[in-house]
Amino acid sequence: MKKIAIFLFTLIIFTSCEGLSSLFEKKITIKGKISSASKVLTDRVKSSTNSLTLADATKVLAYYGNKYALANIKNGSFSIQVPDGAATCLVFLDANNQFIGNLFAGGLNVLPLIGLENTSSIDLSTLTLDGTRVIPANDPIGTTIPVSEEEISFIQAVGSYYQTLAKNLDMDNDGSADILDGDQIRVNSVVNVYAGTYGTDSKQPSMIDPANFMVNYGLRIAGDSKMYDIDYNTSLTNEATQSSITLYWDPIKADPSMLDQIGYLEFILIFQQNNPQQGPNQPGTLPFADGVYTFKLTDSRQYSFNFSNIDMKNYMMIISRALKSPFSYYIIVDLVKHSFYQVNNLYFKFEPKR
């Protein structure tokens, strides 16, 4: 179970840190090939979203956190390098960057590249297409990637997030992958949690029963500031219910001078759904439902995205206290997962430079 804690910690690092992670990281090479049978246009190998087949794939896009790698498919084969320890989604695109499908192995939409100390490459062998699932003949989950059935069940919930990443390649609906066009928009959940009071090196923490954690939810949309019209009144729409969600906070609109600051390159929009039942024992804002949402940044272009809601109460790290000594620092983490496992006092040690 320690591997899962490391996996979660790695998720946090890769989705929030851009600087040092790429300097010393080990790379894992992932390779595979397209079946010659995929060149026959049959219903079995067609994508369920269009008439494309895996034989139309010319590129493989690997997502890990907010980063990506791109490799061409040559003579029916590909090889792509990704960081060891990263949760990675592989997406297959045609020559026009249209989505064909994403890798689906061991019941997961994501490859959890953990426990690979003696492994430098993963051979998926021959790939076939089933709907939008790209199935490898050589499934690495549980073999090359040593994860247990219990850990697979845990990762499946996190993997739904990566499946929505694959669906959200073209949020501006112009027929090309946004991340390759330089107009990518990032959507993240934002949570505010009341779990008790933290401690120090002289005071013990006080954590309430996890069943009573107070979690407030928001949705954060961010991208290049050049894509955003500050004078446009944007809102978010749940397509299933056609309900409109008003904007909670826009830092640029609150302070337009931020656009003139050197290095300020992106807009940030925060949306929240107020809880009509809010009170002493109820959160003030509600989680967002799974589904498709639409919004505009200007009057002329609409964006849409698939959203997958992972229950934050089930996968959270509570930093309960920090202890200091003259030469090293420790963060002691209480990791809580209801009805699955509970790990207390998980230690991460950081040695400062001397």
Q: What is the mean pLDDT of residues 59-72?
A: 87
Q: Which residue has the higher pLDDT, 342 or 57?
A: 57
Domains and CATH numbers, the chain: 2-170 (no CATH), 185-196+205-308 (2.60.40), 313-350 (no CATH)
Q: Are 189 and 220 in contact (CB under 8 A)?
A: yes
In this prediction, residues 212-232 reach a mean pLDDT of: 88
pLDDT (mean) for 225-237: 91
In whole angstroms, what is the distance from residue 9 CA to residue 147 CA? 17
What is the pLDDT confidence band of residue 199, given thresholds at 50, 70 and 90?
A: low
Res. 316 pLDDT band, cuts 50 70 90: low
Residue 106's alpha-carbon distances to 81, 99, 139, 159, in angstroms, are 21, 21, 7, 11
pLDDT at residue 327, as a whole number: 43
To the question of pTM greater than 0.75 for the whole model, the response is no
State yes or no: pLDDT of 92 exceeds 90: yes
In the numeric block, the tokens 């996190």 are attached to: 158
List Cβ neighbours of 47 (8 Å cut-off, separation of 6 or more). Answer: 53, 99, 100, 101, 129, 131, 132
- Residue 31 confidence (pLDDT) above 50: yes
Report the pLDDT value the prediction gives residue 125, as an integer from 0 to 100. Answer: 96
| Residue 276 burial by Cβ neighbours in a 10 Å radius (0-12, 13-18, 19+) | exposed
How many angstroms from the chain centroid is the CA of residue 78?
Answer: 24
Asked if residue 148 has pLDDT above 80, the reply is: yes
What is d(CA 81, CA 60) in angstroms, rounded to the nearest whole number? 11
Contact 38, 46 (CB under 8 A): no
Query: Do 161 and 188 touch, CB atoms closer than 8 A?
Result: no
What backbone torsions phi and psi does residue 335 show, to the nearest 5 degrees?
-105, 120
Q: What pLDDT score was predicted for residue 5?
A: 41
For the chain, the average pLDDT equals 77
- Residues of the chain with pLDDT > 90: what percent? 31
**pLDDT grade, residue 311 (50/70/90)?**
low
The token pair that represents 219 in the structure block: 């949705």
343 three-state secondary structure: strand
Question: How many other C-beta atoms can be found within 10 angstroms of the C-beta atom of residue 344?
Answer: 11
User: In Å, what is the CA distance from 229 to each residue of 140, 232, 253, 299?
Assistant: 46, 5, 10, 8
How many angstroms separate the CA atoms of 53 and 41, rounded? 7
β 266-271/214-224 pair status: antiparallel
* pLDDT tens-place string over residues 317-332: 666 555 454 444 444 4
Q: What value does the mean pLDDT take over residues 266-287?
A: 84
Q: What is the mean pLDDT of residues 5-20?
A: 41
Could you tell me which residue, 86 or 211, shows the higher pLDDT?
A: 86
